[in-house]
Amino acid sequence: MAKAKYRFVCQSCGYVTSKWMGKCPECGAWDSLVEEAEVTTKSRSYLPIEGAEKIKPKTIASVAQVKLERLITGIREFDRVLGGGLVPGSLVLLGGTPGIGKSTMLLDAGLRYGAKGLKVLYVSGEESEEQTALRAARLGTKTDNLLIMTATDLDAILLEAQVVQPKLLIIDSIQTMYNAELQTAAGSVGQVRECTAKLLQFAKTTGIAVLLIGHVTKDGTIAGPRLLEHMVDVVLQFEGDRSYSFRVLRALKNRFGSTNESGIFSMEAGGLQEIANPAGLFLEEREQAVSGSVITACMEGNRPILTEIQGLVARTPFGMPRRTAVGFDYNRVNMLIAILERHFGIDFGTSDAYVNVVGGMKIAEPAADLAVAAALVSSARNLPIPKNMLVIGEVGLTGEVRRVSAVERRIQDALNLGFTSFVIPNSRLQLELPAGIKILRVKTVAQAFQAIFPKRG
Ligand code: TYD
Ligand code: MG
């Protein structure tokens, strides 16, 4: 095979050069030159060529449907997020911030595949073989089908993989791999892209599934996973807060399954434990009703999780009032505060307002709006919200409560956990309710507050 030639291309103006430079001489952008394989285009005629290989389009019906074989770990949360198991020959990227548990997740998965009789090659460019073995011992699954290796030269790794012939190759991480043909350092944009392209070709030609780990910084901007998303078949994201044990595995892209699924885990001393029934995960520490605390139900993938939202409104000691949101969108908190000021005459002008989602959970759904507003009012007026009440609803700028998806599922899970009264947007429910359950349908925030704080409204 002829060696590819490489050149540097400016990502902002397209300037091409054979040498790397810190600053583009054409447009003046800093650090914008990225190494790329040179493309040799031969001009060709589109008239029929004699003896040329014929590629013919087909009708859809004539293409035989093959049932995808799937490799199963037995970690149900993991298999489900992949769409029911790993597809042979697929390239999967697992992204996440450093220290969140990516290596633990994939080593555990590798060990389980091994225990099921599949040969696995785990290549670490970050940790020594001893470190990896130590971690494997902590995870507890014993198997001789998982081989570990510390290496960073991608060509050497792929040669070895061809000898070993595993069903599955795990690369930890793409940022430590390098392609010796390139001049730039491992982890640079060009390296990350070229190495992924090589792995993609390797996976497709050998049928070996490749799992890649990629580090993402908090804003997701570094040379890494974001830029690879279009190349790989599946993009998984591992999320969580390192100060808590709660972790979520999400599919951001999946060519072989849905992106609605998410897997929920807890990081324990013996590795990641699956949480098959997450609904009540965050409710354990709650004792009695206190002001400034309310429970809502948020969807994580297809499953509701009941979450405590806390609000604190306190007098500003001096200067500008502060607003802080942990686990919830800061701008939405400001919007909700403006709505409370405008429609309910609550003065936040001299008060600090804090919103906190308990347990390290991050809420991206507007369905929690009404609960956030209720938590703030509860704190400002010192009115506790009943412990067995669930509050759901999106809030609009005119103070209306809007419908949210999957209300029935949210209510059902809360019923199972002993909740008895529900403040929800005005919508019809297809749900059989046991006796003694109160459902309060509300159209506006004013109606909601009357239902939540009946004494004073
Ligand atoms: P790791 O998988 O190394 O993170 P990443 O590869 O995403 O950088 O996991 C790091 C953290 O997980 C580390 O701080 C220790 C913790 N951990 C446990 O709590 N239990 C375990 O069994 C293992 C292996 C790790
Ligand atoms: Mg790691």
The residue ranges of the chain whose pLDDT is under 70 are 1-4, 39-54, 218-226, 285-286, 455-457
- Phi-psi label, residue 377: left if phi above 0, alpha if psi -120 to 50, beta otherwise: alpha
What CA–CA distance (Å, rounded) separates 335 from 433? Answer: 34
Ligand located closest to 108 CA: 1
Cβ atoms of 419 and 389 within 8 Å: the answer is yes
- Centre of ligand 2 to C-alpha 92, Å, is 16
* Backbone angles phi and psi of 429, in degrees to 5: -110, 135
What CA–CA distance (Å, rounded) separates 205 from 348? Answer: 62
Distance spanning both ends of the chain, measured CA to CA: 78
- Centre of ligand 1 to C-alpha 257, Å, is 28
**Cis geometry, peptide bond prior to residue 173 (ω within 30 degrees of 0):** yes
* Mutation probe of ligand 1 site: the residue of 267, 268, 273 with most atoms within 8 A of C-beta: 267
Cβ atoms of 289 and 385 within 8 Å: the answer is yes
What amino acid occupies position 131? Q
What CA–CA distance (Å, rounded) separates 214 from 96? Answer: 7
Ligand located closest to 100 CA: 1
Query: What pLDDT is stored for residue 1 in this prediction?
Result: 46
Q: pLDDT tens across 315-351, in order?
A: 998 889 999 999 999 999 999 999 999 988 888 999 9
Ligand 1, atom 1: nearest CA belongs to which residue?
101
Specify the ligand 1 atom closest to the Cα of 138. 22
- Centre of ligand 1 to C-alpha 285, Å, is 25
What residues does ligand 1 touch, defined as CB less than 6 Å away?
96, 98-104, 135, 138, 267, 269-271
DSSP letters, 232-263, are SSEEEEEEE-TTSSEEEEEEEEETTS-SS-EE
What CA–CA distance (Å, rounded) separates 159 from 167? Answer: 15
Cβ atoms of 151 and 205 within 8 Å: the answer is no
Which pair of structure tokens corresponds to residue 281?
């995960």
Cβ atoms of 24 and 33 within 8 Å: the answer is yes
Query: What pLDDT is stored for residue 223 in this prediction?
Result: 47
Specify the ligand 1 atom closest to the Cα of 213. 6
Which pTM value belongs to this model? 0.83
* Mutation probe of ligand 1 site: the residue of 104, 106, 241, 248 with most atoms within 8 A of C-beta: 104
Which pair of structure tokens corresponds to residue 117?
């009789």
Query: What pLDDT is stored for residue 225 in this prediction?
Result: 60
Pairing, β 262-268 against β 246-254:
antiparallel
